[in-house]
Amino acid sequence: MKKKFLALILSVALICSMAGVGTMAWFTSQSKSENNTFSTGTLTLGGVINGEDDKEHFASVSFEDMEPGEPPQKIQETVLKNVGSLPFYLYRITASSLEDDPNTDQNDTILDNVLNVKITIDQEVVYEGKLSQLVSQNGGYFDPIYDIQPSDEKTMVIEAFMDENANNQYQGLKTKCDLTVYASQNDSPITGEPTGREVDMGSTSLFSVTGYNNEDYVNFDWDWDPDDSVREEYILKIKHETGDATTVTYEARIWWKNSEWVYSLDGLNESDIELLKGPDIIRIKKSAFPSTWEGFEVELTGRQSFFEEYETINYNYWSLDRD
């Protein structure tokens, strides 16, 4: 007798309400803006809802009656619009505020672990991965979409499907989440540009990192506290518009000896990545990255002692500045 898989008749729903966030990076050091006004104009990302312009929001989408392993036929689209007076670029998307449906006995937010999404803006893929990974700690950055002029519209398409191995615990669940798309003024610099400009990537209690590009390399300069330890470990995770890291590199220095391993789905190998022992710089050949990438997301992790916990600087976007 063939075993029946009840998971194949699951019915779930995902509803995403969406907010466009105008980020005044050039004027206010990356702080979020609530339709701030300056002498040079306003930067406001909005959308079109029921045929009308809406500031800082765009239309919700709903995915209903989803089944495990079903092809991503659940496709919804919404419109982003520049409803301000300044041209801007789009560079990031995140999900937040997953809500539990009080009408079910289970925690409906577990759906985000089996829901996969693919998001495109004007046919450019900006994210592909699990909904649970589309959170601010995990980046959500994409190669910037530049020069969106006042009144310009961009169509955002969202495809959603469930993992094939989703079981009966997901049957009948329903959850909501918020998606936020980030914009910044056209003239505001991207991290990594121009070549030679040093950028503070962040810090932990153990280290801080400064990034910069030169002609041939991306450089991440680590400043340890305390400095000049006999032992240091470095872990870099790299990805490009995905939920999972697609390259992981481990570098370690113990006294005068280095050790290294690299796992990569992107074509990088150990000859492309180097730890400079004296200045504590990890540098990566620009030519090693796929030619279609304008930049990448990078997470920086490290420790000095076996007895310390690893500490991490969350994902940042880094431009390759190849032009």
Average pLDDT over residues 178-190: 85
User: Which residue range forms the structural domain that includes residue 28?
Assistant: 9-185
Both 132 and 240 in a single domain? no
Both 176 and 210 in a single domain? no
Residue 256 belongs to a domain with what CATH number?
2.60.40.10
- What is the rounded CA–CA span in Å between residue 44 and residue 81? 9
pLDDT of res. 43: 56
Both 109 and 218 in a single domain? no
Both 167 and 242 in a single domain? no
Both 30 and 162 in a single domain? yes
pLDDT of res. 26: 41
Q: Confidence class of residue 189 from pLDDT cuts 50, 70 and 90?
A: confident
pLDDT of res. 21: 54
Specify if 194 maps to a domain: no
Both 49 and 180 in a single domain? yes
Specify if 260 maps to a domain: yes
- What is the rounded CA–CA span in Å between residue 228 and residue 130? 40
pLDDT of res. 77: 80
Residue after which a domain boundary falls, among 163, 185, 207:
185
Both 269 and 304 in a single domain? yes
Specify if 68 maps to a domain: yes
What is the helix (H) or strand (E) element at residue 96, kind and residue range? Answer: strand 88-100
| 246 closest CA partner among 258, 269, 263, 260 | 263
Both 13 and 115 in a single domain? yes
Number of domains within the chain: 2
Both 146 and 100 in a single domain? yes
Specify if 167 maps to a domain: yes
217 vs 37, residue with greater confidence: 217
Specify if 192 maps to a domain: no
Task: Calculate what percentage of the chain has a pLDDT beyond 90.
Answer: 43
pLDDT of res. 28: 26
Contact between residue 190 and residue 295 where contact means Cβ atoms under 8 Å apart: yes
47-60 residue pLDDT tens: 666 666 665 565 56
Residue after which a domain boundary falls, among 137, 152, 185:
185
Both 15 and 106 in a single domain? yes
Both 136 and 251 in a single domain? no
Specify if 3 maps to a domain: no
Lowest mean pLDDT among 105-109, 230-234, 294-298: 105-109
- What is the rounded CA–CA span in Å between residue 26 and residue 184? 8
Sheet hosting strand 217-224, strand order edge to edge: 199-203, 207-213, 217-224, 281-285, 273-276
pLDDT of res. 3: 32
Residue after which a domain boundary falls, among 119, 150, 185:
185
60-78 residue pLDDT tens: 666 666 667 666 655 778 8
Specify if 302 maps to a domain: yes
Average pLDDT over residues 215-233: 91
Average pLDDT, the chain: 79
Average pLDDT over residues 10-20: 48
Both 162 and 260 in a single domain? no
- What is the rounded CA–CA span in Å between residue 186 and residue 155? 19
